[in-house]
């Protein structure tokens, strides 16, 4: 009950806060738009929606379905207001070069929709319903985008000005992150297995990778520059290969070093904490050492290793954004350009894809972890 | 006996490092004697706009303020959602914090600029919000792992709910909370280094200035200080954790 009330309050907050900001052009500060600044039928609709959410919160039956329906209506209302603003920019003295940014109310609205959908998902008997609602909302948004509802929205304008560069940097971001984590996986899994086997070096390995992880990312990038610049000055051959103090080489090295800890730690945990009776059973079956590794230890440790790779990847996608500061490119380029020119929407053009990428890869790996978990282990987890 | 001796040399070594670090931070002469042999070709070795000590103080202030406020908020939130009246929020808070933790800290920091603007306040807010996450999660884990028999026993002794919380549950959950705080503070130190870009000051200012002006000496000057700060914070928490863990 308390949670439902909280969600309802979030929905009401949406309408009290400024939803959008209209700016005459890229540089000027704009005017905040609340729902009451729009023609009456928009705020009457808002009042009706508020009334509706209060009713839903206090009714006892079918809240899940009502929540889904409400979130769709809520989203449509937000987008309808956006469309009105697009078509009537003149009212705010912002016609041709006018642009619309999202304000606090809009972000609260997204949080509200998240809360509504997650509540419905947790409490619904029909687990597919919220997924359908989510897909419907996504389709709705894309229809609105295609209809040009966002054509004056500032992020889209920033995107259109540099769509080619954006795709290029996006791909570069992904490939830089993936190659760093790939390299780290190639080093980290053997190192983790080694740490699990040799008591002597375990401490040393963990001391080193823990230490690297502690260093702030920007500082590590900075520390990479001096030695690499020196090396490339000494050996001009390397410079022709593109290895220099700034750019991709130091970024890749620093990102790889950063990705090591979660991978090594999880590989170690996965192998080291396999219950001894499992190993005894394998020995009893007459398995050789390499067979035990291949058929028992590795499959049991794989989900744990994937978790490590997932943690590394999510962290690396964020750090790659920082790497733009040492000239490695990627989506961070837009973020720091936006900060330099104080254009908030350019910052968002960089930040939002970075966040989406991390969430996307996180989900992808969660799914992969589920797939590779051996059936027996999954059953054992479900029992406990 | 051997372990005792080893820990003594360890703490002596740490003390030596801390003294060297403090000298490096406070005295520009130490910085230049260390850096100038590395960069014989550079005119300027030290960041001229502000002393390293000043940048260090700004950095520490940002980390401590955001860390301390996140510590209290995180624990309070963790306590709230594990009480019977807040249980409804437990799952949503766990889901939401898990989702927010996949957001990169840099993203949260730079998002603060469109929302609030440039300067110290947005950096403080972003760091504060981001560092609540590990503390809340660990507080919840810690409080949920307290055995029900212990709580039952405490209640049986006639303790009020507040006393049960303060004398039985929180002490049991404390190691987990401390671990969460450690993660927060280390992430905080790293992220506030980037705070230099959004006008929040700190050691990142020297690093970024060095990158922009192609002066590796500034970069190194700031990077060493930032890395050292992170190491010492980590060491401090390790010592604390060792003391708190029952033998």
pLDDT mean values, one per 10 residues, chain A (384 residues): 85 87 77 84 88 85 81 86 80 74 86 86 75 77 74 78 89 95 95 90 90 90 82 71 72 92 93 87 88 88 92 94 89 91 87 92 90 76 62
Per-residue pLDDT of A278-304, as tens digits, reads 888 988 888 888 888 888 888 889 889
DSSP string, A174-196: HHHHHHHHHHHHHHHHHHHHHHH
| Chain A residue at shortest CA distance from B93 | A115
Mean pLDDT over B76-87 rounds to 91
What is the sign of the dihedral through the CA atoms of A47, A51, A57 and A62?
negative
Range A285-291, long-range pairs (CB < 8 A, 24+ positions): none
**In the sheet that A99-102 helps form, which strands lie side by side, from edge to edge?**
A31-33, A20-23, A99-102
Name the residue facing A318 among B107, B189, B227 (closest C-beta).
Answer: B107
Closest to A322 measured CA to CA, from B198, B45, B122: B198
CATH of domain A163-383: 1.10.3720.10
Q: Is the pTM of this model over 0.80?
A: yes
Whether pLDDT at B246 is above 70 = no
Name the residue facing B211 among A101, A215, A326 (closest C-beta).
Answer: A326
Per-residue pLDDT of B35-71, as tens digits, reads 877 777 777 778 888 888 999 999 999 999 999 999 9
Tokens of A287: 């398995």
Whether pLDDT at B1 is above 50 = no
DSSP string, A258-315: HHHHHHHHHHHHHHHTS-HHHHHHHHHTT--HHHHIIIIIHHHHHHHHHHHHHHHHHH
Tokens of B219: 């970069």
Range A143-152, long-range pairs (CB < 8 A, 24+ positions): A144/A79, A144/A82, A144/A83, A147/A83, A148/A86, A149/A79, A149/A82, A149/A83, A149/A86, A150/A82, A150/A86, A151/A86, A152/A85, A152/A86, A152/A89, A152/A98, A152/A99, A152/A100
Tell me which DSSP letter residue A153 carries. B
Q: What is the pLDDT of residue A268?
A: 93
The structural domains of chain B, with segments of one domain joined by +, span 56-244
Residues 226..245 of A with a Cβ closer than 8 Å to B: which? 226, 229, 245
pLDDT > 70: percent of chain B: 96
Name the residue facing A2 among B38, B88, B106 (closest C-beta).
Answer: B88
Q: What is the pLDDT of residue B2?
A: 44
What is the sign of the dihedral through the CA atoms of B215, B221, B224 and B229?
negative
The structural domains of chain A, with segments of one domain joined by +, span 2-154, 163-383
Residues from chain B that touch A354, judged by Cβ atoms under 8 A, are 104, 106-107
Whether pLDDT at B211 is above 80 = yes
Residues from chain B that touch A101, judged by Cβ atoms under 8 A, are 114
Tokens of A42: 């928009």
Tell me which DSSP letter residue B146 carries. S
Contact A314 B223 (CB under 8 A): no
Mutate to test the interface with A, among B52, B60, B80, B110 (most CBs of A within 10 A): B110
Burial group, residue A354, by CB count within 10 angstroms (0-12, 13-18, 19+): buried
DSSP string, A223-246: HHHHHHHHHHHH-HHHHHTT--SS
Contact B219 A339 (CB under 8 A): no
Contact B220 A222 (CB under 8 A): yes
| Chain A residue at shortest CA distance from B217 | A226
For domain B56-244, give the fold.
MetI-like fold (1.10.3720)
Residues from chain B that touch A229, judged by Cβ atoms under 8 A, are 216
Closest-CA distance, B157 to chain A, in angstroms, reads 32
Contact A362 B208 (CB under 8 A): no
Average per-residue pLDDT for chain B: 88
């Amino acid at each position: 009950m308390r949670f439902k009330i909280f969600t309802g309050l979030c929905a009401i907050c949406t309408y009290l806060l400024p939803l959008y900001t209209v700016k005459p052009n890229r540089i000027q500060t704009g005017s905040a738009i609340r729902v009451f600044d729009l023609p009456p039928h928009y705020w009457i609709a808002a009042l009706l929606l508020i009334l509706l959410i209060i009713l839903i919160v206090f009714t006892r039956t079918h809240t899940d379905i009502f929540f889904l329906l409400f979130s769709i209506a809520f989203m449509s209302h937000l987008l309808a207001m956006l469309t009105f603003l697009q078509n009537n920019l003149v009212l705010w003295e912002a016609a041709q070069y006018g642009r619309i940014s999202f304000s606090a109310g809009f972000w609260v609205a997204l949080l509200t929709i998240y809360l509504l959908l997650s509540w419905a998902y947790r409490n619904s008997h029909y687990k597919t319903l919220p997924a359908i609602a989510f897909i419907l909302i996504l389709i709705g948004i894309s229809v609105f985008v295609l209809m040009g509802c966002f054509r004056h929205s500032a992020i889209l304008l920033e995107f259109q000005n540099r769509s080619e560069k954006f795709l290029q940097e996006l791909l570069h971001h992904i490939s830089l992150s993936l190659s760093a984590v790939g390299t780290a996986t190639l080093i980290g899994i053997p190192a983790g297995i080694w740490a699990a086997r040799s008591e002597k070096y375990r401490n040393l390995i963990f001391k080193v990778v823990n230490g690297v992880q502690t260093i702030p990312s920007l500082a590590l990038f900075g520390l990479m520059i001096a030695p690499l610049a020196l090396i490339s000055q000494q050996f001009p051959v390397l410079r022709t290969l593109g290895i220099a103090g700034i750019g991709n080489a130091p970024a890749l090295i620093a990102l790889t070093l950063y990705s090591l800890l979660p991978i090594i730690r999880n590989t170690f945990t996965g192998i080291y904490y396999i219950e001894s009776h499992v190993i005894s059973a394998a020995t009893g079956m007459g398995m050789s050492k390499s067979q035990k590794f291949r058929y028992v230890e590795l499959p049991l440790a794989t989900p744990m290793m994937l978790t490590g790779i997932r943690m590394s990847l999510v962290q690396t996608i964020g750090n790659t954004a920082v790497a733009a500061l040492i000239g490695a490119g990627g989506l961070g380029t837009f973020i720091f350009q936006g900060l330099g020119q104080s254009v908030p929407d350019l910052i968002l053009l960089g930040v939002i894809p970075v966040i989406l990428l991390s969430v996307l890869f996180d989900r992808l790996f969660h799914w992969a972890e589920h797939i590779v978990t051996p059936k027996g282990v999954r059953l054992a987890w479900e029992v406990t | 006996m051997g372990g005792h001796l080893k820990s003594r040399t360890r703490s002596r070594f740490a003390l030596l490092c801390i003294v060297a670090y403090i000298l490096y931070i406070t005295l520009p002469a130490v910085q230049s004697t260390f850096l100038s042999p590395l960069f014989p070709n550079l005119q300027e070795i030290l960041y001229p706009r502000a002393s390293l000590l000043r940048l260090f103080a700004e950095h520490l202030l940002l980390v401590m303020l955001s860390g301390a406020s996140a510590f209290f908020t995180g624990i309070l939130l963790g306590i709230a959602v594990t009480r019977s009246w807040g249980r409804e929020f437990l799952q949503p808070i766990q889901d939401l914090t898990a989702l927010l933790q996949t957001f990169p800290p840099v993203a949260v920091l730079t998002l603060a600029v469109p929302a609030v603007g440039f300067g110290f306040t947005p950096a403080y807010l972003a760091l504060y919000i981001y560092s609540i996450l590990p503390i809340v999660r660990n507080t919840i884990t810690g409080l949920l792992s307290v055995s029900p028999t212990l709580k039952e026993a405490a209640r049986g002794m006639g303790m009020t709910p507040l006393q049960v919380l303060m004398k039985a549950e929180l002490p049991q959950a404390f190691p987990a909370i401390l671990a969460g705080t450690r993660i927060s503070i280390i992430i905080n130190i790293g992220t506030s280094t980037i705070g230099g870009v959004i006008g929040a000051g700190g050691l990142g200012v020297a690093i970024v200035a060095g990158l922009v002006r192609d002066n590796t000496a500034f970069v190194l000057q700031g990077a060493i200080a930032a890395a050292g700060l992170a190491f010492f914070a980590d060491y401090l928490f390790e010592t604390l954790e060792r003391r708190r863990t029952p033998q």
